Structure 1
Amino acid sequence: MLFCAPAGFGKTTALVDFAARRQEQGVQVVWLSLGCDDDDPSRFLQQLIDALGQAVPGLGQDALGYLCNPMGVPVAAAMELLLSDLARVQTPMLLVLDDLHLIQDTDLLAALNRMVKLAPASFMLAAGSRSLPALNLATLRAKGLLLELGADELRLSPEEMSQYLEHAGVHLDCAALKSLYAHTEGWMIGVHLASLWLRNQPQPVASLLELGSNQHAVGDYLLHTVFEQLPAERQEQLLALGVARQLSGDLANTLTGRQDGQQLLEELEAMQLFLLPLDRERQWYRFHNLFAEFLRARLRERDPERFRQLHFNASLWFTNHHMQNLAIEHASLAEDPEMLAALLDGCGLELINRGQLGLLYRWRKQVPDEVASRFPVLVLADVWTRATDLSLGEAYRLLDELLERWGATRDSGPLSERLLATLAIKAVIALQKDDLDTCVLLARRIEAQLGQHTAFLEVAILIVGALALVMLGQTEPARRLLALAQQRNHFLEGHYLDMQLTNVEVLLCMEQGGLKQAQLLFQQLRERFTGWFDQRSRALVLPTITESLIDYRQGRFDGLQERLRWALATIDVINPIDLYAQAMLCLARVQRMQGGSKEASATLVLMQNLAARNQSWRFYVQAVGEEIALILQEPQVDRCKRAEQRLKSVDWNKLAEPYQSRALNPVLWVLGLTRIRLQQARGHYSEALHELAQLRTQLQDGLHDLQRMRLDLLAALSYQRLGYQERAQSLLVQCLICAEREGARSVFIEEGEAIRQLLQQLEAAERQPALQGFLRSLLGIWPGREAQQAMDMLEEGLTEREREVVCLAAKGLSNDEIGQQLALALGTVKWHLHNIYEKLKVRNRTQAIRRARELSLLEP
């Protein structure tokens, strides 16, 4: 149910009435009033879970556990746990979200969409909003699952307005009622303001003539007039109380300097001065938003110093009553950066552990840098939120200073909460910046104290370490860390880390060349987690990249571009540059295969920029190597010259230095491959074989199967060009046997037209049924094969004259008109058409034109 109307139309009143009626029917009602700072996924979900937990004790505790970590788990992961709990609730439940227009975060809106879609049938959501929320309203309307009440339904009718005024003690004749309705148009708050105003007007009818016709102008006029009609003492009380988002009797005493704060609030409520109770016991109140905004604006304009002092007093009160978020809000409005920084530092770890780093950083931006640098938690928030912009060295320097401040080197026992949070952030940043060795060291540090800290953070750091080991090609240590992470994961509810664990296992299989095993594991992952996460959830970014890599390597290209573009545009919390770079390289290759050379070049430039920004040179040279391969496959005569110029523009030895300790230096590997391709493009096949032999010595047994296959393919091409046909075919068959076992196809296609021609020659000679079937399937998915078929048909079938005849026929010319245009006799035209039919294997002119169009023979 959606109440959607501008401010002052009585949405909250209608929701209260609706909730009361449902409660009388035995429905469990959960109410959540939203504020300006609730547009933060973690903060919103925690308040929602707290509210639900008051109605159903224990509900949402697993989701709350996932939110309480500095890794910032995607909203969908917490929502799926909450939905799992809701499914077990038997009592009908109504959730009321008031002021839903304040929620704009896309992830949060997606989570609410998911709640509406998957919550049990006994669950109902009622919302009040000033504008249409970005939910799937059209779908809900179409399914009959949405009841909407807008301004037209909520506005008072003339009769209802008359009754309301009578009840308020205001008596007007018909003309005056008609005039007032014309001014307010049934706007509830306008009518209420008018009732307060008219009580003090000796001539109500004459006074009504002073009002304008604009509804908002009328509201502003009435607000000012009603306020100014109050005694000066009452005005001062309202101005003091108006600074607070919510009020209690004791806080009212602090703000007004009185001793009867609770009585004062009750008096204001009785006077109908827009003060609304927030609970049944009437311990907490708040002003209506319109009136509160008016009071704050008036006080700020009249006495800015008092405005700041009152916020300072409110901040102190909320601090002393352990209500940190409200204390921080008022400290920011008090414009006292020292106090704000001290508050943020004091409760910052709690905010981090509640997953509210984004909210913390929004407040931190109000603190000058010279002040923030003195408070460790603010520095930690800076590093996390600016991780993408900071260099790796700068990020580490800031984090290590914090670790030193907090005694990381002196603490031999279990890590404190703040140390563990800092190490978790350091591990994720290391993964983002391609510092895999640091990821492994941090994981081993946690491994040594396993079970002594928060399970969530331990598992998260172990996953980061395992993923780093996979990328380093250290498969056995990676499996050991995954096993430890799986053990600790048993102590956690939920699916986010569980899914990421499985995803790392899939990547490990791929690293070892087991594509079919990886595909099987991924299918199991999809079956286990389908339904838990929205299809566009950030939680699915890394699995989406993994699935795309599997599909690409096995030659399933349909839909790959769309999936990869979405994944690359969406950042997960654990966002390893390695996987994002692999996704960019995969996208560029798919674009090239599908005829988008310019798009592929643009993607490779983006990949180079990403790598250079993070000084991840192995990805930089991968993009350069792919760029050169793209140049070498172009038909231009100067392609070798341009490729060599690009090759010489890179200082390969310098970029290889950071990887000297690795068994397979990724920079030198790309350099070797690129030199081999360039030698072959020049026709220097013997030199290419020499380079191949040197490069092969870098490969390790049991690893690098894909790299070994690529070298064998290039060697087969060199042998074939040098005339060693048997040796070339033997290597090619060996590659096909290995590829067929795992369904690997992309490695052949990446090497271009020369390999396709080798495969076509082998197809005619190969007699093994299984291998021949795989070979045909490989040639069948080869990109651009339709254009190649058309070229073969043109060269071996239709003559130029026949092509001219079929092109004119496609334009609708008759045989006589074709003869006249080409200066041919009618019989000659018919003879050409007869030959065309035979060559295209068709029976008539219509079929010939359609077939020629399919083969692109009609294009100029």
Structure 2
Amino acid sequence: MTKTLLATKLYASPPPPRSVERLRLLQRLDDGLQGKLTLLCAPAGFGKSTLLGTWVQACEYPSAWLSLDEGERDPDQFVAYLTASLRSISNDLGDGALALAQARPRPSPEAVLIHLINRLVMRRGRLVLVLDDYQLASSPEVDALLAFLLDNMPAQLHLVVASREVPAIALARLRAEGQMNEVGQDELRFHAEETQQFLNQSMALELSEGQVQALDARTEGWPAGLQMAALSLAGHSDAETFIRSFTGSHRLVQDYLLEEVLRRQPAAVQNFLLRTSVLDSMCAELCEAVMQETGGHESLRQLEMAGLFIVPLDDMRRWFRYHHLFAAMLQQRLRETEALAPLHLRASVWYEAQGMISQALHHAVAADDTPRAIQVVQGQGMPLYFLEDAEPVLRWLQNKTPAFLDEHPQLWLMLAWSYLATSQHSQMQAPMIGAETAIDSSSQHPAYSNWCGELSAVRAWEAVARGDAITIARESALALKRLPQDSLALRTAAHCALGVAHQFSGDRFAAQQVYGETLAMAQACGNRMIAVCAAIALGHLQEDDNHLHLASRTYGQALQLLGDQPHGVACQVHLGLARILYEWNDLESASAHAEKSSKLAALLECDAGLGADALRAQILLSRGETDAALTALTLASTAAQTRNPQSGRLAIAQTQVQAFLQTGEVIAATQLAQTHALPLAQSQVLLARGQALQALEGLTTFLAASQTSAPATELVRALLLKALALDAFAPTEAALAALEEAMALAEPQGWVRAFVDLGGPMQRLLEKSEQGSRPRYTAMLLDALRRQSVALVSLAAPVPKALQLPSIAPQTLAEPLSQRELEVLTLIYKGLSNQEIGQQLFVSLSTVKWHNQNIFDKLDVQRRTEAVARAQALNLL
């Protein structure tokens, strides 16, 4: 299940209706675009977000926005939101990076950043990325990622960071190189004229010059202080007395004004503000649930109109939040009057009903209600970690003390499952030991037997990660014996582990039966993680047993279960489909799936990528692109040196042998086949060298030893090579008998490439069998072989030069404008502003700026007037 990112974090809040236009600061930000970084660093309330929100609206370059909070202290989440914010400008900019950032298992955040930086390098035109409230996300890991981004940032990107604290990264070099534009609290303070404009024009207070100067001096130009003072003055009959009493440091001023603003609100408004302050974000329905009363829409509307420190989070004004300082003050006051736990619990219940389980868990934990949190995690019989969303559970439990976890033994089990779901198998041992101790001390608990069964299921899956077949079999059997029949999620997990035990012990039939049962059980009860695991394992076995049509359908089920989520197991699914489609001679589809597998494996650092790269090279060979295939194989072979799976390295070596034989490098093929002990490749090399008798001896030995254990792919190929070896020196009948044996296995499953890849010798042998027992299948194979031969000959033939016709256009574009860019260009010609273009085309302002920059780049101009003139010269307008 792909984790949903909160879209409201990716948009700047619109400037408040009574804000002051700060031209000097807007110009300062424009000037800073020449460097890498603009840093706005000042305490809360200095108007950093408001200033940046105004600036990005007017900035000539496309801009991406990210409002950070404490959740982004997790480096994976920080990078996920970073890529999502850039993707909000253009879908293709963050393509791949966002999928990578959300993948299971997750790659390193640095790998995601490298991918994103490489995408940015290929982009033409400047863009701006704003990170707001960086201090909330700051952590050693995130600071390191920010430093990495700055060190490797492409020239196209300008980074703006707004923070209450200076980020803990090395900034001296950027200062020395003139790459850093710093705007601090002294620059952000209101100047005297700005104070006067805000108080008397924006807030319409009609204060005297002396009163304005007094407030400016007492607040020291602190924008939030002035705003709160203005709100208090709006309901104060004696402005002079209020201003005289208004003194103190920033902290005292903040406390006084917040108290003054809150106290002057009607009781109903105060009650609403206090009780909804426990919410990090809020909508009308959530507020009504927490308040246990109606009128949420009207209450939020009134707060926004009154300017009571409420910030809209989306353009539709459905979701809001309070100013952080205001919310902190409200919560402090609320704690003095009532307990926060009931409010958090109501929020938890509401979120759970909306299917927003992570938020429901957050509020249950904030309420310090462990039983409620356990209930949320376990869901309606399907735990959160079996839906592949284990991170919230880990954030809750992984730093808890053993004493806390011992109070509820199932917490140890939840922690172990969450480590499994996030591929942190080595971390499972500690919670398993803790669970065993806690369960043993709770032998009188009604759930004791259930906990014992679940612990056995956890142990079985930890053994799966280690490849320990004996432990898997023992613990999965114990789990199924102890778990109640209605514990569907856990029984499904234990049943799947039992299938792994059968597979590891060599009982393929029993394994297939168990995987099929598990897949049906998992889909019925909604255990998505186990369903995907079972489907992939079943597909592999079906493929190996020469049930290609069944395997294709099973892999298809796995892809449907995975959806668009990037996951390590998806590499295996695409690779399995690619192998089958290649065998069916659907090279285009096979190439597409192999490409997906390879790219996803590279992003996620999965070992399946080795097999995918070998298959991609095999497809290149089948198309006669030998040089490209050899290059790809060389790269794959180099990468294989740092990988563990033997199967991937052998697949690459096998394909390299084919490539060497295709190019006539028989000696190199011989050495490679011997080095990697590849029996079928060695036999094929012997045939190429004219040593058919030695090839037949090796093939006979291989078939005798592997008849019941080797995958069908190898058996069919061995029989075909045996047929070719016999055809070289034995009577034709013997060769045709071996060919018939191979075809009996191959025809029902539609094998093609195993025959075609053997080229001319196989074509001649098939021509001898045209009148045999399988005339239609033989004719189909011969047709494929002849078409392959024709295609390879045509590729080898010289290609005549095309006639060079003179261009009749006086000027041309290196890259044509897209249809959307032509629409934007036409509206520019008509004189519409960027805002008006966005409204007419129903796109965001940043998208319009993106199109503008692309148009300017393609037309090789710098501004609108030049673009119109150039377009007219090219007859585009």
TM-score normalised over the length of structure 1: 0.48
TM-score normalised over the length of structure 2: 0.47
